[in-house]
């Protein structure tokens, strides 16, 4: 399936690229293909090929091991603590993202596992959001997780709700919920902006275990200081593979590492080249 | 078919959005702009669903002890603001704008200003030198803080130099490494969704 999809993608790209040139081979003014994006296209195709090859080879070969991620390993402890204390669990996707953002999708993957376990342990899960589309998707994810765990009756629709699209309106409301309900565990996973520390410090003040992760390097610094566990960089995106142990998802995480090695090699070669020949700039595409 | 159709729609939509990035052709631009318009329309409808859910949750919360007063204020905002906008519009001098500028904006600024105190309390906890990395963090933070304040230049210009060195080299290198990881993570997540491997958005089926 994945191989066919790549072939389909390459065929479309070839057709697409071909349309961008006139019969004499010169680029057209209003061409279908913007020649300035050629390098991005080539790199994207190489990376797509690596991901698909990795997924296909994983389905035939041995299982893939993924290193221990403390933030994800702590999910069980955080939920166990909430169950023992009889306090709720709060999960926020942050204010900055919408549903099509990869960070939000990664956050939904973790929500699925958290919701399954809270249903199993009969623990209340509160999910306030700033985006009605995220609310609709989260409702489906949590409902399905409750069904998967064997307790569909433990789904509480009133605990997955939209608050406000205003950044500080949302932050104030989440702070209010934290102060009043005193959750034992708080998950801050998604796209965060200036509201990150306001929420994390309020969570800290009520003594909750906090697991955080975002794609903003600025907010990561706040989370590292204020939270117990922080998913840094690609750890957030590797979560679904780590939690589900799905072979295909784990293979895509391995592909990510291969791409990282390639980028590191490219940087090293470019540094050496620039040192030997400072005038050269072939790597600046 | 119930499972395949959303996957096919996802694959086609993902490919269209991927391909349009590489084209400046008027047709491609038009497709992109229509997709954004569609997104706005869908969002407007879901906003109604969100507002309805908010009202439902708030009405339930009205009866709860300790929570009722907050829910009442929230509900009053939901009811009053649209009425003010319908009656007086949202032009300069309208009651809607008056409420926005004199009640909502100051409340938002108040919440934002809390950030300064939260930064101080978080920094106090984070900068306790219990381990070697924490000690390095503390020393680096001290240099950055000293480099930022004007009085440090009276003592030595080295504070500013060290601050810029910390920001431009070790800090920037770490940030870029994290950013590369985030970029690759986003790419693989997007690929997994487009190829139908990641299906949490459709109940994982």
Read off the pLDDT of residues A33-59 as tens digits, 9 standing for 90 and up: 888 889 899 999 999 999 999 988 887
For residues A122 and A26, membership in a common domain is answered with no
Q: Is residue B141 part of a domain?
A: yes
Residue B123 and residue A225: Cβ atoms within 8 Å? Answer: yes
For residues A56 and A84, membership in a common domain is answered with no
For residue A5, the model assigns a pLDDT of 58
Residue B60 and residue A237: Cβ atoms within 8 Å? Answer: no
Residue A161 and residue B192: Cβ atoms within 8 Å? Answer: no
Nearest CA in chain B to A138: B201
Domain housing A54: 2-63+246-276
Residues 139-198 of chain B whose Cβ lies under 8 A from any Cβ of chain A: 175, 177-182, 184-198
For residue B181, the model assigns a pLDDT of 93
For the cut 60, the answer to whether the pLDDT of residue A17 exceeds it is: no
Distance (Å, whole) CA A184 – CA A123: 10
Give pLDDT tens digits along chain B (205 positions).
777 898 899 999 999 999 999 988 899 999 999 999 998 998 889 889 889 989 998 998 888 887 889 899 999 999 999 999 999 998 898 999 999 999 999 999 999 999 999 999 988 887 777 888 888 888 998 999 899 888 888 888 888 999 999 999 999 999 999 999 999 999 999 999 898 888 876 665 5
Min Cα–Cα distance to chain A from B149, Å: 21
Q: Is residue A281 part of a domain?
A: no
- With contacts defined as CB-CB under 8 Å, which chain A residues touch B54? 161-163
For residues A119 and A222, membership in a common domain is answered with yes
Q: Is residue B187 part of a domain?
A: yes
For residues A50 and A176, membership in a common domain is answered with no
For the record, the structure tokens of B74 come out as 């929230």
For the cut 80, the answer to whether the pLDDT of residue A179 exceeds it is: yes
Count of structural domains, chain A: 2
Q: Is residue B172 part of a domain?
A: yes
Beta bridge partners of A188: A92, A212
Min Cα–Cα distance to chain B from A279, Å: 23
Burial of A161-197, coded b for 16+ CB within 10 Å and e otherwise, reads bbbbebbbbbbbbbbbbbeebbbbbbbbbbbbebbbb
For the record, the structure tokens of A258 come out as 């291969």
Cβ contacts of residue A273 below 8 Å, gap of 6+?
Answer: A280, A282, A283
Min Cα–Cα distance to chain A from B180, Å: 8
Min Cα–Cα distance to chain A from B17, Å: 12
Nearest Cβ partner for A105 among B24, B179, B198: B198
Nearest Cβ partner for A256 among B24, B184, B204: B184
Residue B193 and residue A51: Cβ atoms within 8 Å? Answer: no
Count of structural domains, chain B: 2
Residue B184 and residue A234: Cβ atoms within 8 Å? Answer: yes
Q: Which of A79-88, A144-153, A235-244 has the lowest mean pLDDT?
A: A235-244
For residues A136 and A88, membership in a common domain is answered with yes
The full length of chain B comes to: 205
For residues B56 and B6, membership in a common domain is answered with yes
Q: Is residue B144 part of a domain?
A: yes
CA distance between the termini of chain A: 33
For residues B4 and B79, membership in a common domain is answered with yes
Smallest Cα–Cα separation from B126: which of A197, A93, A246?
A197
In whole numbers, what is the pLDDT of chain A averaged over residues? 88
B42 touches chain A (CB under 8 A): yes
Nearest Cβ partner for A194 among B115, B180, B196: B115
Residues 246-285 of chain A whose Cβ lies under 8 A from any Cβ of chain B: 246, 248-249, 252-253, 255-256, 259-260, 263
Q: Is residue A283 part of a domain?
A: no
* A235-265: pLDDT as tens digits: 999 988 898 888 888 999 999 999 999 999 9
Q: Is residue B177 part of a domain?
A: yes
B201 touches chain A (CB under 8 A): yes
Residue A224 and residue B112: Cβ atoms within 8 Å? Answer: no
Q: For an interface test with B, give the residue of A133, A254, A262 to mutate (most B CBs within 10 A).
A: A133
A56 touches chain B (CB under 8 A): no
For residues A95 and A159, membership in a common domain is answered with yes
Q: How far apart, in Å, are the Cα atoms of A113 and each of A118, A154, A170, A246, A249?
A: 9, 15, 25, 13, 15
Burial of A32-49, coded b for 16+ CB within 10 Å and e otherwise, reads bbbeeeeeebebbeebbe
CATH code of the domain in which A134 resides: 3.40.50
Judge residue B101's burial from the number of C-beta atoms within 10 Å of its C-beta, 0-12 exposed, 13-18 middle, 19 or more buried. exposed
Residues 50-69 of chain B whose Cβ lies under 8 A from any Cβ of chain A: 50-51, 53-54, 56-57, 60, 66-67
Nearest CA in chain B to A179: B67
Residue B178 and residue A217: Cβ atoms within 8 Å? Answer: yes
Residue B112 and residue A12: Cβ atoms within 8 Å? Answer: no
* A212-228: pLDDT as tens digits: 999 999 999 999 999 99
A152 touches chain B (CB under 8 A): no
- With contacts defined as CB-CB under 8 Å, which chain A residues touch B16? none
For residues A57 and A79, membership in a common domain is answered with no
For residue B64, the model assigns a pLDDT of 83
Distance (Å, whole) CA B47 – CA B94: 25
Q: For an interface test with A, give the residue of B43, B53, B73, B188 to mutate (most A CBs within 10 A).
A: B188
Smallest Cα–Cα separation from A249: which of B43, B198, B36?
B198
For the cut 90, the answer to whether the pLDDT of residue A29 exceeds it is: no
Q: Is residue B161 part of a domain?
A: yes
For residues A213 and A180, membership in a common domain is answered with yes
For residues A125 and A236, membership in a common domain is answered with yes
For residues A222 and A84, membership in a common domain is answered with yes
Nearest Cβ partner for A136 among B11, B24, B49: B49
Q: Which of A23-27, A62-66, B100-104 has the lowest mean pLDDT?
A: A23-27
Model's pTM, two decimal places? 0.88
Q: Is residue B107 part of a domain?
A: no
Domain housing B83: 1-88
3-state per-residue secondary structure call for A84-116: HHCCCEEEECCCCCCCCCHHHHHHHHHHHHHHH
């Amino acid at each position: 399936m994945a191989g066919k999809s790549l072939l389909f993608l390459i065929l479309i790209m070839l057709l697409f690229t071909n349309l961008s040139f006139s019969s004499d081979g010169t680029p057209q003014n209003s061409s279908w293909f913007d020649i300035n994006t050629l390098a991005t296209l080539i790199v994207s195709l190489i990376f797509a090929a690596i991901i698909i090859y990795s997924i296909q080879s994983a389905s035939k070969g041995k299982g893939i091991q993924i290193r221990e991620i403390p933030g994800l390993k702590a999910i069980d402890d955080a939920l166990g603590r909430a169950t023992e204390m009889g306090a709720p669990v709060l999960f926020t996707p942050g204010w900055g993202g919408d549903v099509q953002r990869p960070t939000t999708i990664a956050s939904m993957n973790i929500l699925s596992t958290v919701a399954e376990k809270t249903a199993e342990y009969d623990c209340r899960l509160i999910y306030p959001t700033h985006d009605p589309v995220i609310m609709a998707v989260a409702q489906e994810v949590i409902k399905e997780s409750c069904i998967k765990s064997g307790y569909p009756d433990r789904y509480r629709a009133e605990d997955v709700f939209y608050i406000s699209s205003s950044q500080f309106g949302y932050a104030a409301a989440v702070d209010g919920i934290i102060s009043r309900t005193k959750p034992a565990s708080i998950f801050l996973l998604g796209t965060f902006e200036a509201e990150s520390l306001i929420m994390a410090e309020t969570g800290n003040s009520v003594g909750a275990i906090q697991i955080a992760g975002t794609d903003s390097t600025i907010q990561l610094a706040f989370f590292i200081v204020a939270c117990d566990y922080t998913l840094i960089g690609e750890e957030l995106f590797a979560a679904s593979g780590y939690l589900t142990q799905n072979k295909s998802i784990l293979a895509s995480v391995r592909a990510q590492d291969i791409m990282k090695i390639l980028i590191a090699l490219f940087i090293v070669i470019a540094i050496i080249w620039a040192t030997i020949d400072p005038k050269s700039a072939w790597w600046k595409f | 078919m119930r499972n395949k159709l959303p996957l096919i729609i996802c694959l086609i939509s993902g490919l269209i959005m991927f391909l349009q990035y590489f084209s400046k052709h008027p047709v491609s631009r038009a497709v992109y702009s229509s997709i954004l318009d569609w997104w706005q329309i869908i969002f407007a409808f879901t906003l109604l669903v969100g507002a309805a859910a908010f009202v439902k949750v708030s009405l339930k919360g009205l009866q709860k002890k300790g929570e009722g007063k907050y829910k009442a204020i929230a509900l009053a905002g939901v009811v009053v603001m649209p009425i003010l906008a319908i009656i007086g519009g949202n032009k300069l001098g309208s009651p809607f704008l008056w409420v926005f500028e004199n009640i909502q904006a100051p409340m938002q600024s108040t919440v934002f200003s809390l950030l300064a105190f939260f930064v101080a309390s978080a920094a106090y906890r984070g900068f306790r030198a219990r381990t070697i990395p924490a000690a390095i963090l503390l020393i680096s933070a001290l240099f950055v803080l000293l480099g930022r304040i004007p009085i440090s230049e009276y003592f030595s210009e080295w504070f500013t130099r060290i601050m810029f060195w910390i920001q431009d080299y070790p800090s920037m290198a770490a940030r870029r490494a994290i950013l590369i990881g985030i970029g690759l993570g986003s790419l693989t997540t997007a690929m997994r969704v487009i190829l139908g491997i990641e299906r949490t958005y459709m109940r994982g089926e």
